[in-house]
Amino acid sequence: MSIKQVMVVGAGQMGAGIAQVCAQYGFSVKLNDIADEALEKGKAGIEKRLARSVEKGRLAEEEQQKTLENLSYTTDLNEASTCDLVIEAIVENMNVKTSLFKKLDEFAPEHAILASNTSSLPITEIAAVTNRPSQVIGMHFMNPVPVMKLVEIIRGLQTSDETYQSIKDMTEKICKSPVEVNDFPGFVSNRVLMPMINEAIYTVYEGVATPEDVDTVMKLGMNHPMGPLTLADFIGLDTCLYIMEVLHEGFGDSKYRPCPLLRKYVKAGWLGKKSGRGFYTYEN
């Protein structure tokens, strides 16, 4: 199937980034959110990133203008009726996502593919609430979307080969590198990354080393560009906890048990960079 019209639902950092990249590579994109304020913030972020790229010589002014022309903004989910692909990028909550997919299944045309940017939730379960489970798939973009090349393409139990191929082709058209992943908790990226972050938190919890020293070991000893605790703060400690809980519940294995210190920080409201404090303190 040829994909031309795309809707991205959710104008937060991930959704706006996905919309921007799709528009840059020639797709007609509708960015949707339930709140006008969120749409305005998403639009402003896109325009700022594009302007910066022009200033730095990474993007021609003509390309900037064309990208902006390819974008439109709406709070009306009914506008999915003209789209070939809808990418959901809303809160990481199964009840909220399944509620949205039921609506998208109603509004989107029969041929349309419905994709989720979930980082950990089962695609098979999301697909099951629709009347088109063979056309439901995961597209897990990395943050920040305009910079990171990887997209995990997650096949649910009923995802068809045709759906997978359409999404793989589209991913390559937007100059991303697709990796095929089967539907298991955490997929590949978070199944590997989050236990490492959790173990780094345990080393702080048990008094093995300070956050600074843990990060230094991983940067200088393992050649990681960013230490795991800095990365956790960037991701959001609440998000890290949620994904660890998904892994723990999904596999029933104690090795995925969230560190008590992670739970304590989240309960204290120390969520990382977005709240001003996590394992490090940040200026607003």
**Distance in angstroms (rounded) separating the CA atoms of residues 135 and 142:** 22
Distance of CA 141 to the CA centre of its chain: 5
Q: Which residue has the tokens 């989107």?
A: 108
Q: Which of 32, 70, 117, 190 is catalytic?
A: 190
Q: Which of 119, 166, 198, 275 is catalytic?
A: 119
Q: Are 133 and 127 in contact (CB under 8 A)?
A: yes
Q: Which of 88, 152, 198, 275 is catalytic?
A: 152
Task: Assess whether 119 carries a catalytic annotation.
Answer: yes
**Distance in angstroms (rounded) separating the CA atoms of residues 7 and 13:** 15
Residue 57 has which token pair?
């010589």
Q: Which of 140, 166, 198, 275 is catalytic?
A: 140
Pairing of strands 113-116, 71-74: unpaired
Main-chain dihedrals φ then ψ at residue 168, nearest 5 degrees: -60, -45
Task: Assess whether 131 carries a catalytic annotation.
Answer: no
Main-chain dihedrals φ then ψ at residue 125, nearest 5 degrees: -70, -40
Task: Assess whether 190 carries a catalytic annotation.
Answer: yes
Q: At what angle do helices 189-205 and 260-267 cross, to 10 degrees?
A: 90
Q: Are 99 and 77 in contact (CB under 8 A)?
A: no
Pairing of strands 113-116, 136-141: parallel
Task: Assess whether 152 carries a catalytic annotation.
Answer: yes
Length of the chain: 284
Which residues are known catalytic residues?
119, 140, 152, 190
